[in-house]
Amino acid sequence: MGWFDSLKRNNKTDEEAVNEENENEATLLESEVETVEMDQPDNDFAEDEPDSREGSAYQEESEETLSDRKPLKTMADKKPVTHTIGTTQIIGIINQKGGVGKSTTAVNLAAALGTMNKAALLVDLDPQGNATSGLGIDKGELESDIYDVLLSDLSVEEAIVPDVCEGLDVLPATINLAGAEVELVNEIARENRLKMALGSLRGKYDYIFIDCPPSLGLLTVNALVASDKLLIPIQCEFYALEGVTKLLDSMKRVKSLLNPALDIYGVLLTMYDGRTTLSRQVAEEVRRYFGKAVFETMVPRTVKLSEAPSYGLPITEYDPKGRGAEAYLNMAKEVIARG
């Protein structure tokens, strides 16, 4: 027992020593922190920041920043069109294959036409809503979107967000649109819902672009029925023409049954890299297949085009002097020349 008592005493002594050492270290650390805080040089933030954040200038500044966020405009706030609008062209931007630059083309071509004194409307028909967010529209602030237009008989003017950038209005989309495919099945005139909604806008815009989903469901059929022409972006990569055949077959069926005037407006080569043999070969193959329907402009693969949506800006505003902006401005000139 004596040996155990001695061991307990030694352990107790060790514990007390450790505790005492920890207390000394804590005291020393506190004194060092105080010294650092006292010796820290003043700066603008330190001078302006009060001791308490509650009711402070910092909090007031944050609230002021939040209050400065402008609410989304309505059509009542839209700037008047300063030129005479002729025949409105409704162009569906479509490709069954994803990742071909479809939304990028929809956003930047519409914005480029806006800078050329054309009135453009971008209809986001993709449930992902990339064209909506890519133009800086906060989906959480939207009171209505294209889903309500298609399924709740909401007037299309009530859902449009005007003057997102120069000459460009947007009919936005949110995740609500994901359920539209199923809900449209039981609706009367389900293939004509978008056509009926956009009919009232003819004569108010020079161009209406429809950013279609990468599928051939009911939403895409609505776009095919509503469109006058189709613009097909094709990326300059392997399997570029994969899926285009099915798209053309769907277009022919819709043309024969629902929209006799539907035709191809043009084919746009995207993600072109002139340094690679593959891009050049794909471009040649596409031009051989589609002939004069292919636009002369080819959209290059650039980092700026990928970055612009994260800033909520079209490339014409994000990098106006870059190769991407130059390509879409040239594309817009071709669109105007084609009439």
The pLDDT of residue 136 is 94
Of the CA atoms within 13 Å of residue 18, those in its CB half-sphere come to: 6
Percentage of the chain exceeding pLDDT 70? 79
Residues 91 and 211: beta-carbon distance below 8 Å: no
Q: Look up residue 109 and give its two tokens.
A: 């071509």
| Region 110-137 average pLDDT | 96
- In order of their start, the domains of the chain are 2-66 (no CATH), 88-338 (3.40.50.300)
Using alpha carbons, list the distances in angstroms from residue 98 to 189, 219, 233, 250: 28, 15, 10, 17
Residues 125 and 173: beta-carbon distance below 8 Å: yes
Q: Look up residue 317 and give its two tokens.
A: 């505003």
Q: How many CB atoms lie within 10 A of CB 181?
A: 15
Model confidence at 59: pLDDT above 50: no
Give φ, ψ of 235 to 5 degrees: -80, 145
Residues 103 and 129: beta-carbon distance below 8 Å: no
Model confidence at 67: pLDDT above 70: no
Whether this prediction's pTM lies above 0.95 is answered by no
